[in-house]
């Protein structure tokens, strides 16, 4: 005889021959009024507490057609069974043993929290201990009965025990934990049921002639996986919504690699910077996740994207503002990724720059600075595209085209002025730099205290190779009408 069903069945009126009712979760003791019962088991206890109500029911007249969960004809709220990053692609019957008991994917039934061993039942449905021979009894030496619906009850008692959200079994008062024979709280949790995926349940045609339990089959939601383009290592997964456009997660959520800088995401596994620079990039907001019609034998097709990294920590500059912003950090390592052109005044580099600029043979065009020194500028101030190149500075493989720097000083001080840098300290390196433009010395209060040169104002031992100042025009300062001294 069928055990009493704890779940309350809420009566609803269905179209055609569908007289049905559902219950969201356990709520009281009313016996079914229908001929047959369809049990929807979300089969998710192996996914922890992802769904609050793991089993729901549909009552039918014999020979009726079941309606899938979520069908709008139900007219009542129904637990969605949604699990993060999972998608229900259909409902299936379980793989069973000879006695009709459902098997899990490992060929077992249930597991006990204490030792993780499988818990099985005898032919009548009483739980066996892990040895498979003795019964798993309560502290009162009562056997535990497992109904086909997955409900536990005590021997000779029709009322099922309640369970906590984590699977611990409570007594009938709903508060006291049931103990196993060793005095431990009993926790019996169904693991993932093995499904006969050869025949998905057809809700449009299959008629229900007897009680049946259908199990949800979950597959991974469609996702984008990102691989390291060089090593092939998987770095990140971005799950999406079926059939919808992807959204850009933002730089903070992009894949990372210790000691490297992400250069870009690509459709193909590029292997070098040169190859990456000429390859098709991947854009999240241009990609649509697969729809339900795209599900194949292995689930949704997976979009593979490749991440290419630059060795080291770099500030990648692709715009004038990015280049200027990076220069404001004294120890920045700047990777110029393309030619850029300034159409507004350039703010200049940090007063002391100790970083690296790798121009990658690109050109910075149109830098323009009009600077007037003030009494608040510190002594030994350097003026130029780079104010002062510190001992660790390294500028290489870059062209500055049509740069102009106009300088004036109303106060007498030790100023250093050069189109590239006002001062280059010993240890600074300048390699393969091409520069053209104009350095103009306008009104100068005390020309005698001004150190200037076309390329570098004051060179204190920098290593300069394959770099010349032949394309720089120097406009000397006019003689002041009246010498002014710093007060």
**What are the tens digits of pLDDT across the range 271-323?**
999 999 899 999 999 999 999 999 988 899 999 999 999 999 999 999 999 99
> For residue 333, what are the contacts with CB-CB under 8 A and spacing of at least 6?
312, 313, 314, 315, 355, 356, 358
What six digits make up the tokens of 307? 């991440």
Which residue would you say has higher pLDDT here, 166 or 6? 166
Mean pLDDT over 382-400 rounds to 94
Q: Is 226 exposed, middle or buried (0-12, 13-18, 19+ CB in 10 A)?
A: buried
Burial (CB count within 10 angstroms: exposed 0-12, middle 13-18, buried 19+), residue 364: buried
The CATH class given to the 221-311 domain equals: mainly beta
Model confidence at 344, in pLDDT bands (50, 70, 90)?
A: confident
> Which of 350, 429, 423 shows the shortest CA–CA distance to 394?
429
More reliable by pLDDT, 451 or 443? 451
Which helix (H) or strand (E) element contains residue 315?
Answer: strand 315-317
pLDDT of amino acid 6: 28
pLDDT of amino acid 258 = 95
Between 82 and 229, name the one with better pLDDT.
Answer: 229
Output the DSSP codes for 87-133: EEEEEEPBPB-TTS-B-BTTS--EEETTT--EE-B-TTSBBBPTTSS
Same-fold call for 10-93+195-219 versus 221-311: yes
Which residue did the predictor score with more confidence, 286 or 51?
286
Give the length of the chain.
487
24-33, 50-59, 179-188: which range is least confident on average?
Answer: 24-33
Please give the full DSSP string across 181-229, using - where no structure is assigned: TTSPBPBEEE-PBPB-TTS---TTT-EE-S-EEEEEEEEEPPEEEEEET
Q: Would the pLDDT of 189 be above 60?
A: no
Comparison of pLDDT for 22 and 132, the residue scoring more: 132
Q: What is the DSSP letter of 471?
A: T
| Range 348-357 average pLDDT | 84
CA 336/CA 423 separation, integer angstroms? 23
Complete edge-to-edge strand list for the sheet that includes strand 386-389: 386-389, 421-424, 456-459
Q: How confident is the model at residue 84 (pLDDT cuts 50, 70, 90)?
A: confident
> 10-93+195-219 belongs to which homologous superfamily?
Listeria-Bacteroides repeat domain (2.60.40.4270)
146's torsion region: left (phi>0), alpha (psi -120 to 50) or beta?
beta
In the chain, where the domains are located: 10-93+195-219, 107-189, 221-311, 315-475
Which of 208, 214, 210, 236 is closest to 223 using CA atoms? 236
User: What is the distance between the alpha carbons of residues 215 and 95, in angstroms, rounded to a whole number?
Assistant: 10
Round to whole Å and give the CA distance between 422 and 148: 85
Asked if pLDDT for residue 46 goes beyond 50, the answer is: no
Mean pLDDT lowest among 40-49, 111-120, 380-389: 111-120
Quote the mean pLDDT of the chain.
79
Residues 356 and 391 sit within 8 Å (Cβ to Cβ): no
User: Are 144 and 126 contacting, i.e. CB atoms less than 8 angstroms apart?
Assistant: yes
What confidence tier does 484 reach under pLDDT thresholds 50, 70, 90? very low
Rounded-to-integer distance, Cα 187 and Cα 204, Å: 38
- Give the pairing type, strands 36-41 and 212-220: parallel
Percent of the chain with pLDDT over 90: 44
CB 442 within 8 A of CB 408: yes
Number of H helices, E strands in the chain: 2, 34
pLDDT band, residue 481 (cuts 50/70/90): low
Handedness of CA 321, 327, 329, 335 (dihedral sign): positive
Give CA–CA dist 371/417, Å, rounded.
11
Q: Give the pLDDT mean for 471-481.
A: 80
C-alpha 316/C-alpha 336 separation (Å) is 6
**148 touches 142 (CB < 8 A):** no
Q: Which 3 state secondary structure label does DSSP give 151? A: coil
CB-CB neighbours of 145 under 10 Å:
21
Among the listed residues 220, 285, 291, the one whose alpha carbon sits nearest the alpha carbon of residue 249: 285
Q: Which helix (H) or strand (E) holds 418?
A: strand 415-418
β-strands 188-190, 110-112: how paired? antiparallel
**Residue range 148-174: mean pLDDT, rounded:** 60
- Specify whether the CB–CB gap between 136 and 144 falls below 8 A: yes
Band (480; pLDDT cuts 50, 70, 90): low
- Residue of 127 and 171 predicted with greater confidence: 127
Question: Which H or E run contains 41?
Answer: strand 36-41
The winner for highest mean pLDDT among 34-38, 100-104, 210-214, 242-246 is 242-246
Where is pLDDT greater, at 171 or 321? 321
How far is it, in rounded angstroms, from Cα 177 to Cα 183?
A: 10
Residue 270, burial from CB neighbour count under 10 angstroms (0-12, 13-18, 19+):
buried
Angstrom distance (rounded) from CA 19 to CA 59? 7
Residues with Cβ < 8 Å from 253, sequence gap 6 or more? none
Question: What is the distance between the alpha carbons of residues 340 and 328, in angstroms, rounded to a whole number?
Answer: 17
pLDDT tens digits, one per residue of 86-122:
888 889 998 887 767 677 766 555 554 445 555 667 7
């Amino acid at each position: 005889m069928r055990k009493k069903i704890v779940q309350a069945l809420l009566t609803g009126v269905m179209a055609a021959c569908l007289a049905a009712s559902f219950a969201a979760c356990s709520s009281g003791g009313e016996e079914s009024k229908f001929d047959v019962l369809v049990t929807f088991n979300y089969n998710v206890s192996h996914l922890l507490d992802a769904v609050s109500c793991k089993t729901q029911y549909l009552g039918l007249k014999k020979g009726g057609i079941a309606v899938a969960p979520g069908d709008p004809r139900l007219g009542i709220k129904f637990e969605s069974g949604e699990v993060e990053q999972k998608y229900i692609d259909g409902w299936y019957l379980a793989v069973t043993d000879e006695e009709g008991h459902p098997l899990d994917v490992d060929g077992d039934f249930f597991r006990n929290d204490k030792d993780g061993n499988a818990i099985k039942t005898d032919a009548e449905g009483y739980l066996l201990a892990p040895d498979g021979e003795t019964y798993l009894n309560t502290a009162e030496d009562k056997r535990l009965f497992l109904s086909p619906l997955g409900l536990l009850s005590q021997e000779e008692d029709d009322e099922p025990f309640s369970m906590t959200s984590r699977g611990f079994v409570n007594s009938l008062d709903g508060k006291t934990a049931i103990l196993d024979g060793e005095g431990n709280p009993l926790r019996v949790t169904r693991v993932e049921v093995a499904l006969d995926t050869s025949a998905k349940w057809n809700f449009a045609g299959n008629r229900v002639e007897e009680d049946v339990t259908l199990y949800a089959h979950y597959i991974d939601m469609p996702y984008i996986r990102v691989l390291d383009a060089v090593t092939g290592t998987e770095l990140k997964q971005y799950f999406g919504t079926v059939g919808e456009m992807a959204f850009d997660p933002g730089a903070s959520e992009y894949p990372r690699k210790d000691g490297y800088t992400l250069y870009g995401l690509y459709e193909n596994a590029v292997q070098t910077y040169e190859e990456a620079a000429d390859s098709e990039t991947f854009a999240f907001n241009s990609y649509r996740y697969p729809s339900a019609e795209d599900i194949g034998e292995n689930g949704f097709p997976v979009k593979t994207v490749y991440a290419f990294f630059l060795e080291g920590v770099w500030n990648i500059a692709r715009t004038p503002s990015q280049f200027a912003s990076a220069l404001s950090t004294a120890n920045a390592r700047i990777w110029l990724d393309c030619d850029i052109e300034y159409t507004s005044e350039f703010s200049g580099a940090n007063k002391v720059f100790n970083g690296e600029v790798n121009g990658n043979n690109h050109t910075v065009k149109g830098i323009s600075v009009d600077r007037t020194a003030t009494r608040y500028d510190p002594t030994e101030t350097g003026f130029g595209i780079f104010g002062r190149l510190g001992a660790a500075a390294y500028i290489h493989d870059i062209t500055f085209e049509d740069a102009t720097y106009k300088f004036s000083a109303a106060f007498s001080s030790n100023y250093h002025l050069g189109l590239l840098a006002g001062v280059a300290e010993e240890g600074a390196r300048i390699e393969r730099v091409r520069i053209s433009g104009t350095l103009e010395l306008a009104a100068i209060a005390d020309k005698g205290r001004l150190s200037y040169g076309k390329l570098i104002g004051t060179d204190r031992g920098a290593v300069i190779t394959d770099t010349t100042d032949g394309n720089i025009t120097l406009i000397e300062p006019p003689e002041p009408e009246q010498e002014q001294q710093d007060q």
